[in-house]
Amino acid sequence: MQSSNHRLRDMEQHHPLLSAGADVEAGMGNRTLWFIQDSCGMVCAGMTWFLVLYAEFVVNFVMLLPAKSFWYSLLNGATFNSLAVLALASHLRTMLTDPGAVPKGNATKEYMESLQLKPGEVIYKCPKCCSIKPERAHHCSICKRCIRKMDHHCPWVNNCVGEKNQRYFVLFTMYIALISAHALGLSGMHFFTCIKVQWNECSDFSPGVSVLLLIFLCLEAILFLTFTAVMFGTQIHSICNDETEIERLKNEKPTWERHMRWDGMRAVFGGPPSLLWCNPFMGLQLRRLLLLSHGRRGGSEFSV
């Protein structure tokens, strides 16, 4: 006799309303702009942007623009600012992308009858959001939704990391780690250069202000580099083993067909390995975003 998890998986394959393509409420379609209205998450997301923009200010105006070498300033400025733009774009895509929310409140009697379940078929209902809970979905108390392949809820992106936005979260951690390492390298070069000459000659700011700005930047870069490098490594490990952080902590035995290593990477990033995997703008529809900006609010996310 099949286990309940296998019966659930078989039922998902036969009922398209429970598949990944049906994770937006009926009637809403593609008109939902996802944004979690959580005060802590919004503050953390704002702090993330402030710290990245602060790093941009110090790198550009304290270190690069006053530098005597034009090519040194140009190459490092182009590299750092490009990585910063990619990091912020990845942050936005992570924050504003539906992580894979299960339709809310669909566990009604009428809906259950429409599924035409066979005798012995088992489904699970989430008592918190009154939705039919697919395999590998977990309820997030902050998003107030069940999320497919939920890895964790990250306040720094004010969103869950799940089936549909894990790619952007991985890119966010990677680019933050890169700009943090770059900022540390530039700070070390700047200190070394200014020690050999007068501080007034290597910065447009006073020596005291320059030192304080650089010290704070170094502390920020060390913390961000440590955190995002570890998070990037754990995310890649989870993808290659097709196991979310929640599943690992709960020691859940896999009942699904696992996508290991490169198969897992292709499942998350899409397509064969290419530089497009590093592009957070992939699949972005600007016209749709402009249309969504004229919407209304609903629940714990903006709905249009």
Residues that are catalytic: 154
Q: What is the CA radius of gyration of the chain?
A: 23
Residues 148 and 47: their CA atoms lie apart, in Å, by: 28
Give the contacts of 13 (CB within 8 A, at least 6 positions apart).
19
